[in-house]
Amino acid sequence: MRAIVWLSKRFVEGGAFLETIHMADIIPLIHIPYPPRGHSSYYIACPNCDHGRNDRHLNINLYKDVFRCPKCGFNGGVFDLFCCYTHYPREGVRNELLRILAGFEAKPQVFQNPVLYQTQGAEDLPVADIETRHAVYSELLSMLPLAEDHMRNLLQRGLSKRAIFENGYRTTPVIGEKALAKRLSSKGYNLAGIPGFYMDNTRQWTFIHNKRGILAPVKDSKGRKQGMQVRRDNVEKRKYRWVSSKDLPGGHGAEGWVHIAGQPSERVILTEGPLKADVIHYLTGITVIAVPGVNSLNHLEKTLTGLIESGTKRVMTAFDMDFIHKSYVEAGYAELFKMLGRMDLRFGTYLWDPAYNGLDDYIHKYSISL
């Protein structure tokens, strides 16, 4: 009852309702522990990353009205914490909290049995639909340049300047990410559910900061931009990364979409990575589909089913030749061929001189036809 009296004094004063909501006000609503006596900052289990019985990584700061987990980066303010535990829509949370808290003076028993909002699951808002993602990514890419060294790199791969710009490659922004998000929002684009965008500690939309590299759109069979990957400069391991804002406030992760270069056709090549697929398609004219990796096949079966319905009858795999030295991809290949065997398809594998790791490099060198 001590908390109820305290809240009543803060929210009802001389008959006037005060529209200020603090972290302490929502504690009884979301069933998290109260702070130890005399403490304004304390730790509880993080709902995102703590799974052990004694894990306590999420810091609640009642003085600053913020929370943060140093382990996974989950952070935000009063409204963000309430939405996390109740899954209430972020856009209407303030008014809803005012309505709930206004009733505490007349019905203090609400504290004893707080009503939590039920949703279909414990996930955040789902990823935005394909049309929304395509519109946002298209507008974002129109705002970005392609650096000269990246243009040279793409030309050396065998692409023409026209193909480079038609495919939408750009250089990752290394500064001004928040300004880009602000421009998009001012044009009416909704950034919620778009991988790569999230809310910073001032609760403003911003774009993820990536290591410098080439942005490559990942497109579906209709040419719509599902997501984006970055080919990072000057790295040897994990050169390709998804544009993702997973585990950041308001952010969303990419879902391993399959890239399609070219229109559905009777024969397609299956490879790894959107940039490689674009180059092979440009050099040969053959339709190429690309998964993020041989161990990332989540969306492949659905994509192939759609291609079969459009007339595809044969799939030739063409993953980098260094697979013969990578024992950890064996399980991925086994799963891939098991999947292909279940489908109404003929399939096989292209092999070439391993001095050229990728099929794109080999074709560009010798101008062969497949």
Q: Can you list the domains of the chain with their CATH numbers? A: 2-111 (3.90.580.10), 124-255 (3.90.980.10), 258-370 (3.40.1360.10)
326 or 321, which is more confident: 321
CA-based nearest residue to 285, from 301, 269, 298:
269
Per-residue pLDDT, averaged over 81-102, amounts to: 84
Q: Check whether 49 has a pLDDT greater than 70.
A: yes
Share of the chain above pLDDT 70, in %: 86
CA atoms within 13 A on the CB side of 299: 17
Per-residue pLDDT, averaged over 223-240, amounts to: 91
pLDDT class of 334 with cuts at 50, 70, 90: confident
3 state DSSP class of 338? helix
CA-based nearest residue to 220, from 129, 142, 282, 140:
129
**Among 111-125, 175-189, 212-226, 318-332, which is the least confidently predicted range?**
111-125
Predicted local confidence at residue 268, as pLDDT: 96
User: What does the alpha-carbon distance between residue 333 and residue 302 come to, in Å, rounded to a whole number?
Assistant: 18
Give Cα separations from 56 to 45, 71, 247, 249 (angstroms): 4, 10, 18, 19
Beta-strand (E) ranges in 69-182? 75-77, 170-171
3 state DSSP class of 289? strand
Predicted local confidence at residue 342, as pLDDT: 92
Q: Check whether 86 has a pLDDT greater than 70.
A: yes
pLDDT class of 122 with cuts at 50, 70, 90: very low
45 or 17, which is more confident: 45
Q: Check whether 303 has a pLDDT greater than 90.
A: yes
* ∠ Cα 88 93 98 (to 5°): 125
Contact 87, 62 (CB under 8 A): no
Q: Distance from first CA to last CA of the chain, Å, rounded?
A: 77
What residue has token string 């535990």?
A: 85
Residues 6+ apart with CB under 8 A from 117: 86, 87, 88
pLDDT class of 325 with cuts at 50, 70, 90: low
Predicted local confidence at residue 13, as pLDDT: 40
Predicted local confidence at residue 323, as pLDDT: 67
Q: Rounded mean pLDDT of the chain?
A: 83
pLDDT class of 94 with cuts at 50, 70, 90: confident
Query: Side chain identity at 185, as an amino acid letter?
Result: S
Q: What is the pTM of this model?
A: 0.65
Predicted local confidence at residue 106, as pLDDT: 36
CA-based nearest residue to 60, from 45, 76, 41, 83:
41
